[in-house]
């Protein structure tokens, strides 16, 4: 199992997410512990990392297989996440 690590910026991102979406996002993040490269996850080309879609929101993260950690560095609406 992988360990989830959150970047310090995540606190700011979460403030603007409606609670209904936040529950779904946290549930999806929990599934990453078992398999961070499961179906529906895509590797990003322009930015180093992976992307998980949850409705209109995107979770961007990096995987460290040696340490067995997943660092989540951005959770934002799809319009602003890649800026």
Enclosing domain of residue 72: 3-77
Residue 83's pLDDT is: 82
- Give backbone dihedrals phi and psi of 16, rounded to 5 degrees, phi first: -100, 5
The answer to whether residue 52 is domain-embedded is yes
The answer to whether residue 68 is domain-embedded is yes
Residue 6's pLDDT is: 97
The answer to whether residue 82 is domain-embedded is no
Does an H or E element contain 16, and which?
Answer: none
* Exposure on the CB side of residue 46, measured as CA atoms within 13 A: 3
- Give backbone dihedrals phi and psi of 51, rounded to 5 degrees, phi first: -130, 135
Mean pLDDT in each 10-residue stretch from start to end of the chain (83 residues)? 96 93 95 94 93 96 97 96 85
Q: How many domains does the chain have?
A: 1
Residue 14's pLDDT is: 94
Q: How far is CA 28 from CA 33, 41, 66, 83, in A?
A: 10, 11, 22, 23
Q: What is the CATH number of the domain that holds 22?
A: 3.30.2310.20
Q: Note the pTM of the prediction, 2 decimals.
A: 0.92
């Amino acid at each position: 199992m992988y360990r989830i690590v959150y970047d310090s910026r995540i606190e700011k991102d979460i403030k603007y997410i409606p609670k209904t979406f936040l529950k779904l996002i946290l549930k999806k993040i929990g599934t990453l512990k078992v398999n961070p490269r499961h179906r529906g996850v895509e590797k990003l080309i322009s930015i180093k990392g992976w992307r998980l879609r949850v409705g209109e929101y995107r979770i961007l993260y990096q995987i460290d297989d040696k340490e067995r950690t997943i660092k989540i560095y951005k959770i934002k609406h799809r319009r602003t996440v890649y800026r």
